[in-house]
Amino acid sequence: MRTACAGPFHKHLDRIITGAPSSSVRHRASFAMASHRLKRVTHLVLDFDSTLTVKDTMNVLGDIPKSPKLSWSQISDDYMKDYNTYKNEPYPWKDYDRKEYSGWLAARRWVEARSAKRVENAGFFRGVTLEDVKQTVARSLESGKLQLREGWVKLFELFLPDYDDTSGVVHGGGLSIVSVNWSEIAIRQTLWQSAMRLDHPSKDSLCRLINDMHIHANEIEGLCSPLGSSGRVRHPLNMDIRTSADKLRYMPPSRGMWDGLGPRVIYIGDSSTDFDALCAADVGIWLCDVPELQYGTAFKKMFEPLDFVPPPLVSWREDGTDKKHLFWWAPNFDVVLEHLGTSR
């Protein structure tokens, strides 16, 4: 669950606040029609809710059960009570810097874990199936309740030249998602079904890329079981992704960690749950679609009480001296595309 400083459930409140095989030849042919390609070897890591999507998608998951025993509004209300308790608890602030802010975010784990447990105990997702998820995603895309952010196709296209569908690997760099969302399958279905609706020369290649890309998120357990889900919401191997610190575990090593070797790691996210990943990347990009004169105020509301405001991504310089900044701000994927790619 997320509020301005929260996890997956209420992230919508954030918006209120602010010689290759023939397959490779086919991919190059499709990409030749695109207007950009990567400037350098890159591993792009994306948040999902309100980053790849226009708004939070947790209410879409709330539409999956046909006859839930607990209403979605009750789940929301109970979460907000816990979150407000957490927010009002004393914390030993001193410098209001990266270390303190990261520690404060980590202290919210009990709120997120309790929310998931509450949903499990109520059997909210008990009995739902893979087909239920697919149909709910399809209905939400059709109605407009679920939308991907403008520019996502061009962003994904950047990785097609290095994608080999014989191995499912993006050679050199990579494209992945790290999310506190409750369903990896719902995320992949959203991307897949959106790509299938495209009238676009790269449609088939994009679908294969989406099929193979790494998506790290929680899951509604047992969607393919004979009687449907057990109702539990978790990540396999008890590696649940609930907080900013949890997301950090799934980040690839930055070039700085490898003494300048390997792909450059870019992370894009929109909320405080992305904070640690934004800071860990070679270039972290906070996405907030407001005018430049307003983004400082929006950032302060989103990341309070952190004593920092990110500079605009357009002011980034290649020489590396700008890593003194924790991360950067961009209003949309067009600005990100200009940073990552070069016009053809």
DSSP E strands, the chain: 36-38, 42-46, 163-164, 169-170, 174-178, 214-216, 219-220, 233-234, 264-269, 283-287, 328-330, 341-343
CB 11 within 8 A of CB 50: yes
DSSP string, 198-210: ---TTHHHHHHHH
Q: Which is more confident, 31 or 168?
A: 168
Lowest mean pLDDT among 1-15, 86-100, 182-196, 249-263: 1-15
pLDDT for res 162: 86
pLDDT for res 320: 53
At 64, is the pLDDT very low, low, confident or very high (cuts 50, 70, 90)?
Answer: very high
Write out the two tokens for 226: 């004979």
pLDDT for res 208: 96
Q: CA–CA separation, 244 vs 179, rounded Å?
A: 10
3-state secondary structure 41-57: CEEEEECCCCCCECCCC
At 29, is the pLDDT very low, low, confident or very high (cuts 50, 70, 90)?
Answer: very low
pLDDT for res 95: 96
CB 286 within 8 A of CB 310: yes
At 21, is the pLDDT very low, low, confident or very high (cuts 50, 70, 90)?
Answer: very low
Q: Residues 109-136: what's their mean pLDDT?
A: 96
Q: Which is more confident, 342 or 95?
A: 95
pLDDT for res 268: 99
pLDDT for res 19: 34
pLDDT digits (tens, 9 = 90+) for 131-173: 999 999 999 999 999 999 999 999 999 999 888 888 888 888 8
pLDDT digits (tens, 9 = 90+) for 233-283: 998 777 899 999 999 999 999 876 666 677 899 999 999 999 999 999 999
pLDDT for res 18: 41
Q: What is the pTM of this model?
A: 0.88
At 70, is the pLDDT very low, low, confident or very high (cuts 50, 70, 90)?
Answer: confident
Q: Which is more confident, 38 or 287?
A: 287
At 328, is the pLDDT very low, low, confident or very high (cuts 50, 70, 90)?
Answer: very high
pLDDT digits (tens, 9 = 90+) for 168-221: 888 888 999 999 999 999 999 999 999 999 999 999 999 999 999 999 999 999
The residues that bridge with 176 in the sheet, in sequence order, are: 45, 214
Q: Where are the domains of the chain?
A: 12-343
Q: Residues 41-56: what's their mean pLDDT?
A: 97
pLDDT for res 323: 62
Assigned CATH topology for domain 12-343: Rossmann fold (3.40.50)
Q: Residues 288-314: what's their mean pLDDT?
A: 95
